Structure 1
Amino acid sequence: MSDPVKVSRRTLITVGGAGLAAALAGVGGTAEAAAAGVAGAAVPTPGSGGIPPGPSTYGWDPADLLDFDPATHPWGRHLRCLVPLAPRIAPFAPTQAHPDLDPGVRLSTLSLDDAGTIYEGRNQPIGLEGHTYTQRFWPYIDVWGTWHGQVLPSVPSDVVADPGAPGRTYGVIDIPNPGWTEAAHKNGVKTIGGWFWPRSGVDFGEFLVQAADGSFPVGDKLIEIRRYFGFDGLFINQEATITAAQAGKLRDLFRYLKAKDPGFYLQYYDADLPNGDLDYQNTLNAKNVPWLGSPGDQTVDSIFVNYGWPYVDPDLSGSARTAKTAGFDPRAVAFAGVEHQQGGFNPEECFTDYAYPGHPGPVSVGLFVEDQFWANAAWSGETTTAAGRAKYRDLEQRFWSGPTGNPATSGRLEPRKPPYRTDVLNYRKWDGIAHGIVERSPYGALPIVTTFNIGVGSTFYLDGKQVRDGGWDNQGCADRSLTWQYWTDGVTVALDESTAYEGAHSLALSGNGVVHLFKTDLTQTAATEVRVVAQGLSAVDIGVTRRTNPGSIEWTRLTPARRSAGWTEYRGRIARDDDRIARISLRTSGSGHLGKVFLADTQTADLAPNRPGSFTVADAGPGAGATRHLTFAWHLQADATAYDVLQNGRWLGRVHRDVFFAESVDLTNVRVFGLVPIAANGNRGPAVTAAL
């Protein structure tokens, strides 16, 4: 069976994500217009073009790869992920939202990490667009991949800025947005860039050149950029026939990558067969399984099975048998594709028909552009308002947690029946990801702290005081995700951007009941200090579920200790116990907002980082109007994991790197800037200043 969306998918990645709609609609836009939009003018249509000021990624062809030198890359330091891949705790069924759901089924995604941005030919990790999409359901994802094309660096800037211009040549390779890699790694998720063939102006043989010593120069450079930029691998999307000889060399290249860099994750799209012919199998079978290699000598790590599997291998048992016969764990190497870009909540494929509570799935699942609903809403302008963002964040919650928005009660409320890929926002027909995938967790040690920062906002707050009144986006500075959004009993919870204690969001709570926050595996070395910041609530209790008694929650009443800027900090302690903590919950009464949750060992709860030892600022050119772009640099310190850059108390941004680019800064009255280090427990250290 041929791929039902081959043409549209190829068109999408050729012009790049949101740029498809812009190209078809004929809209235009510039970076200058975007900056004007921040100041109150109409926001340009997403995907309408322009080159983001400052750091941005681009497409790579073999020549770009071979020329790569970190010392000469114009924005290399600004595009690195320095956040290591966090380990995840072992599965523990009693504290799962569905205790009878098998944790062996895994999930990979291919997503638009630029959904909603006006920029299309380049990928901007940090910007001024408070309406773009960020991911907050990382606990269900094992491997996340970027899905859009990026224009080569050799393409003239005026051509890059116009999605309809001829000569906008896209690279075969694009790396994932480094901010998304930072957020993914905090949650234990691997990130993979994109490899798309065919591309114009490139000879496929250039990738396959092998030196006399047996090395692959392009392979060595792929390893170098993976390690330098800090991501985990590539999604190999071969969508054109190559020769049989090239197919053999391609397998040799993949085997070389895996041998030299075992951490290089490769997921291969069910497209080209060993003889090089383009032919989708829609199942894992004897023709495409050779791309896996053999156990102990793998060519690729997994295969993304094409979307036609319901008509070829309806229950996916054939794919599972093929993997087992080849010596592999089917759920580690086979990901059945589900096409959400056109299908939304009503795709033709339904993986929860074979993986659901009480029924282990035979293989794993791969989602294709599950965030298209946000891109569509952005194109129509709906995400430019707080109400519009709330509407689509609610839809996002129902996509991941199920139609009730509660993962413990996931499962469709209406039957699925043809025609599919219609009525695509009707979440009542959708089981929810939580119905087939067990929630994972990186919470194996203290401290745990969240202010519900999702890496995007229309404002920013510190200690309950507003310190920014313009939009911003930076997925990389998001907090680790809540494990469930939202597993509740008796209380309603919603993400709310009307107020915040730190960041741009809080949780709005109403009613009397319980919200489960974190799946954990915590060994206490001392009493655990608990601090919860809230407003409007009449009572707050912290609850812990112990490993040996998972059916019971131990509750501790928190007492008001400090009030500031309309917020109350509640404090308490959880006595040390040899029995490990498997879940952390809150019990609240009344209606109000939750601004922060903090847990740490009592001995380390108040530790703060030292003052940074160096800090410099430099002019990086004209911004919008009379503003200037600025770059900042400093030395990383062992006692800090993040840094805030401020201008006279106004927040410019937060990063985990040793550099920061600030777009369009008004220098009329203030040319002195501060750098504040932030520890792993969220405590802030003394600032160091620098003047321009």
Structure 2
Amino acid sequence: MAEQLAPTMRSFTTIAELRSNWRQEESNVARVPLAARTPLPSNAKTSLMGFDMGEFQFDPWFTKWSQGACGAEGNRSAANVYNFSFWQYVDISYYYGHQLLTVPPTVWTNAAHKNGVLSLGTLGLNWYEQENVGKFDLDDVKAMLTKRPAQPDPKRMYLEECIDVMKKIAGYYGFDGYLVNFEPEAGVNLSAFKPGMMQLLSALKTAGLTMLWYDSTFSSENGFYDNRLTGAQYEFFTAANNFQANYFWGTRFKDTEKYPQLSWEVLKAKNSATALDDRKRVFMAVDCSKDRRTPPYESPFFFQTLALINSSIQDPPNFFTGLGLYYPAWVMYDLRFPPGDKVTDKLPDRETFHNNDEAFWCGTKDLIDFPKPHEGRTVLPNECMSFYLHERSVIRSAPFVTTFNDGEGLFYNVAGETLSKGPWNNLSDQSVLPSFRYKFANTDSKTNKTKLQYTDPATIYTGGSSLSIDLSKIGVGGSLNIVLFRTEFKVTPTSTIGLVAKFSSSKANLTLKVSRRGFDTISIPVEQSIPLENGWTRYVFDLNKGAAEQVVTVIGLNIEVMATPTIFTIGELALLDSAQRIDPSPIMDFPGDSKELDWSKNFRSSSHYRVYGVLGKTSYLLGIAYNCFYRTKYETWAGVVDAVHIFNTEQSGFTSYKVQEITADGNYTPL
């Protein structure tokens, strides 16, 4: 029986659960494949994001539900959650759980993979933490790091079984590896178990999983945190292939400012031939939490410390190690109004959260609400993450389609038509968003803003948001250059870019701005304008008109205002190749008594699917699936009841169901 009437992800808290109860319903499986990314320049550092949600780790309004959430109650709304959307600055993410083994939420892995970001779970061996007391103990941990003896204790899980189970869990749920967190209590000597830990890390790495070792007292020489890579920590780094330092270093902590440089020197001393590559997998990390008194903007410490990762000397060039960030969700959970630490405390409203998050990541909004609500401060150029990290994207080849949907909303549109009303979220359905969010190719970025717009359904094409560009400060005859996406694709004779957009009370000329490797940026005019329903227009640009056979590295727009300007909204951008059209499957029909819809025989991981319930002659949108299973009913003590769907929740008792495939190039069979 389901914990809730929807596919629900949970962590594993005991050895018994790991051994026999780890396979949950298949709707919880992440099936979006890991996308290839644009290359990282040699002078740009890698990045690691540690997402710890605290008491919101499995938030029933968000990540706990594997196919989305809906509704509103009290201080909570499904349309106002910690919806991370700056994946262009992330290389590896991990979802930190405070239990024995945490699987990253399905929606989290799908969103990460769609953006080419690795998604890791957590193996947490801290038996003494409050969440784990009574669930597993020190003897369980020792067994997990010990080879199976001749006379094993049947209640224990030994090293060989632990390795096997961790491989199976990652393979089944579709995530990429694990952070291993083991911070023994002071005075507990576990050095005899280091060989077992080394074998666990190495075996999982060899099996193809991405493993990350967290700096701990267990791996240090003196029983304290090293807060950097040392000779002792290097052994664990080589076993796991990735290392994250603890957080007590930087300008606030005495004699630690050179820890990034000292970490680099360890790499160089151990293996000078591979040091330049190895530094990309060592992460000097900073914690955003107010509990550690190191949140951004409270003092100069945070950004001054990030700057220490940069190298001012020639050995090595540009940077010493990768950059790690722990608890990016501070902009939601540490800014609860009034300030508090209870789940019932009111979260910042949606607009406040997005403004704060934009300021923290991109720095182009005027204010951030910190340290107190509505007492904002101006963000300086070096007080945002984009100053320290290089943006990347997954636009490597056709087809690529984005609808600028951030994965949450107050309604859901398809092709400009509203098919459902009510708050919802589904991070799996988040589009790949612009690499250059809130940036303009001019100096007036504070006056002319580009942002995700989600309040007016008439200006949203598909999903719950669109990209809105404010032209109100551009006079008639003036123009604006906007950079949108970093790319890395070669133009073919049949390559086009299509733009679905609408103007609000204004007219303008559009040209596509294309940067090409080894050549100047060029402008490509509109080849064709195709009127669509609901006031939208599709603008088609022929990439062969100036970029034939060339590699495109950035795409943007020039908007020349021809009449009184207001708002220009982009609802879809598509890189297509007419020689590679993908034909969608026919509509798949299922009977009304189906408890789970299964279209695995027709499933394509590059596609996603809209699920409809049918009543009479009307089809109601119920959900968006990035899987080949969709739960419709559950067995309960009261009998068979409808599962919770995230759209049109007032409807039930469907006589049949329909599943509609949306292919990677945006095609679908009409209902």
Same fold at TM > 0.5: yes
Determine if contact 1:146/1:194 at 8 Å carries over to the other structure. Answer: yes
> Is 1:509 the equivalent of 2:457?
no
Matching of residues 212-251 of structure 1 within 5 Å: 216-241=160-185, 242=188, 243-251=190-198
CA 1:566–1:547: 2 relative to 1, 3 Å: same
Matching of residues 444-593 of structure 1 within 5 Å: 444-489=396-441, 491-498=448-455, 499=457, 500-511=460-471, 512-536=479-503, 538-539=507-508, 540-549=510-519, 551-557=520-526, 559-575=528-544, 577-588=548-559, 589=561, 590=565, 591-593=567-569
- Indicate the residue corresponding to 1:35 in structure 2: none
Determine if contact 1:617/1:633 at 8 Å carries over to the other structure. Answer: no
> Is 1:67 the equivalent of 2:38?
no
Cα deviation, 1:188-244, whole Å, max 9, x if unaligned, reads: 110111222133131312422423699610111001101111111112222323522
Structure 1 position 368, deviation (Å): 0.9
Structure 1 position 355, deviation (Å): 4.8
Structure 1 position 114, deviation (Å): 8.8
Determine if contact 1:87/1:442 at 8 Å carries over to the other structure. Answer: yes
In structure 1, distance between residues paired with 2:59 and 2:39: 40
In structure 1, distance between residues paired with 2:524 and 2:54: 40
- Indicate the residue corresponding to 1:610 in structure 2: 585
Structure 1 position 387, deviation (Å): 9.6
- Aligned mate of 1:339, from 284, 287, 293: 287
Structure 1 position 619, deviation (Å): 6.4
CA 1:427–1:361: 2 relative to 1, 3 Å: farther
CA 1:618–1:518: 2 relative to 1, 3 Å: farther
Look up the equivalent residue of 1:475 and give its one-letter code: L
TM-score normalized with structure 2 length: 0.78
CA 1:614–1:443: 2 relative to 1, 3 Å: same
Structure 1 position 559, deviation (Å): 4.6
- Indicate the residue corresponding to 1:272 in structure 2: 217
Look up the equivalent residue of 1:546 and give its one-letter code: R
SS in structure 2 at match of 1:443? coil
Structure 1 position 675, deviation (Å): 1.0
In structure 2, distance between residues paired with 1:220 and 1:276: 30
- Indicate the residue corresponding to 2:82 in structure 1: 133
Gaps of 5+ in 2: 71-77, 151-157, 443-447, 472-478, 632-642
In structure 2, distance between residues paired with 1:396 and 1:658: 33
- Aligned mate of 1:314, from 245, 254, 257: 257
> Is 1:106 the equivalent of 2:47?
yes
In structure 2, distance between residues paired with 1:471 and 1:291: 45
SS in structure 1 at match of 2:449? strand
- Indicate the residue corresponding to 1:168 in structure 2: none
CA 1:425–1:113: 2 relative to 1, 3 Å: farther
In structure 1, distance between residues paired with 2:518 and 2:217: 50
In structure 1, distance between residues paired with 2:396 and 2:105: 27
Determine if contact 1:483/1:518 at 8 Å carries over to the other structure. Answer: yes
- Aligned mate of 2:120, from 192, 198, 202: 192
- Indicate the residue corresponding to 1:287 in structure 2: 232
- Indicate the residue corresponding to 1:205 in structure 2: 142
- Indicate the residue corresponding to 1:182 in structure 2: 110
In structure 2, distance between residues paired with 1:64 and 1:208: 18
> Is 1:598 the equivalent of 2:574?
yes
Look up the equivalent residue of 2:525 and give its one-letter code: T
> Is 1:671 the equivalent of 2:671?
no
In structure 1, distance between residues paired with 2:575 and 2:184: 52
Gaps of 5+ in 1: 1-30, 32-49, 94-101, 150-170, 406-411, 414-418, 621-630, 688-692
In structure 1, distance between residues paired with 2:264 and 2:165: 35
In structure 1, distance between residues paired with 2:114 and 2:654: 35
Look up the equivalent residue of 1:286 and give its one-letter code: G
> Is 1:401 the equivalent of 2:362?
yes
